[in-house]
Amino acid sequence: MTDSGFRLKGSVVTTILLEVQTFSLDDILFHLKEKIDQVPHFFNQAPIIIDISKMKRGITLDQFETLIKSVSSLGLGVIGWRCDPDSTPVWGASVTIPLLPASKARPISPPLPLKEEPSPDVVVKTVVEERLVPQAAKVITKPIRSGQQVYAEGDLIILAQVSAGAEVLADGNIHVYGALRGRALAGVKGDTEARIFCKSMEAELVSIAGNFMLSDALQNIVWKDGAQVLLVDDSLEIVPL
C-alpha cells in the first residue's frame, strides 16, 4: 500500500457501443427499448458508450445531452462518448461525460494532468475499473416453470428442471441438475469464461456472453444427454459430459 491511499491500475471492461447513424431520438429509444426488453438482465446497468463518428449529419449539444439522458433513463450506464477524431464537434469539451478515444485508434494521452512527470510507458486505458467481487451462488431446488425467469449475480445452481418457456440467467456459470428445456444465458454481463452445465440438454437456447445457439443446432450435437457449453475463440462449443 502506498501513502496515497490508492493505486492506479489499468483494466479492460466489456461495454456496449451505441453507434448512432442518424439522430432520430424516438426511433433510437423505441428500438433500443425493444432490444432491452428481450434480455432485460443483460442490459440492466450495463456500461454503454455512445459513438457519433458514423453520423452523416451533425448533432447539437442539446440533442446529444438529451440522448445521453434518455439512454440513461432506460437503465443503461453511459460511461463515455466517441466521435470522429478529425471532426470533433465544437461543443466537444462541454459534454458532461468523458470523450473516449476512437476505436482502434491509439489511446490519447491521459486526460488528467499529472503532478509528476508521467513515465512515458504508462497509459490509462480505461475509465472504469470493474472489481470482481465473488458472489455467492444462488441455489434453486424447485423446477423453474414456463414463464418464470431467474437471475443470479454469481453462479446459478438449479437442482431441478428448467421447463420449456422458462429463462435462467447468470453473470457466472449455470448448473442444471435436471433437464434444461428452456433458455439458459450464462455470463450475461460479458464473462466469456462462464459455462453452462446440464444433466439433460433439451434447451431452446443457450448463450454465453451474448453468443447463442438454438435448439435446432443443439440437436445435432448433444441432445437429451449431459452437456456443457463453453466459449472457445468467440464460438460456442457443446461438449458431452
Grid coordinates belonging to 72: 440513461
Give the number of other Cβ atoms within 10 Å of residue 84's Cβ.
13
Q: What are phi and psi of 181, to 5 degrees?
A: -110, -15
Smallest separation (angstroms) from another protein to the CB of 167: 12
Smallest separation (angstroms) from another protein to the CB of 204: 12
Task: Quote the CA–CA distance of 60 and 217 in Å, as a whole number.
Answer: 47
Residue among 55 and 164 whose Cβ is closer to another protein: 164
Indicate whether 147 belongs to the interface with another protein (CB under 8 A): yes
83: left (phi over 0), alpha (psi -120 to 50) or beta: beta
String marking each residue 174-193 x if it binds another protein according to CB under 8 A: ----xx-x------------
Residues 143-162: b if buried by 16+ CB within 10 A, e if exposed:
bbeeeeebbbbebbbbeebb
Task: Quote the CA–CA distance of 135 and 149 in Å, as a whole number.
Answer: 19
Indicate whether 163 belongs to the interface with another protein (CB under 8 A): yes
Site for another protein in 125-144 (CB under 8 A): 142-144
Indicate which single residue of 31, 33, 35, 145 sits in contact with another protein (rule: CB under 8 A). 145
Residue among 41 and 181 whose Cβ is closer to another protein: 181
Contact segment (CB under 8 A) with another protein among 98-106, 133-141, 156-164, 203-211 equals 156-164
34 HSE (CA, 13 A, CB side): 6
Grid coordinates belonging to 70: 434518455
Residue among 179 and 213 whose Cβ is closer to another protein: 179
Indicate whether 160 belongs to the interface with another protein (CB under 8 A): yes
> Vertex 206, ends 202 and 211: CA angle to 5°?
155
Give the total of residues touching another protein (CB under 8 A).
Answer: 16
Indicate whether 166 belongs to the interface with another protein (CB under 8 A): yes
Indicate whether 207 belongs to the interface with another protein (CB under 8 A): no
Binding site for another protein (CB under 8 A): 142-148, 160-161, 163-166, 178-179, 181
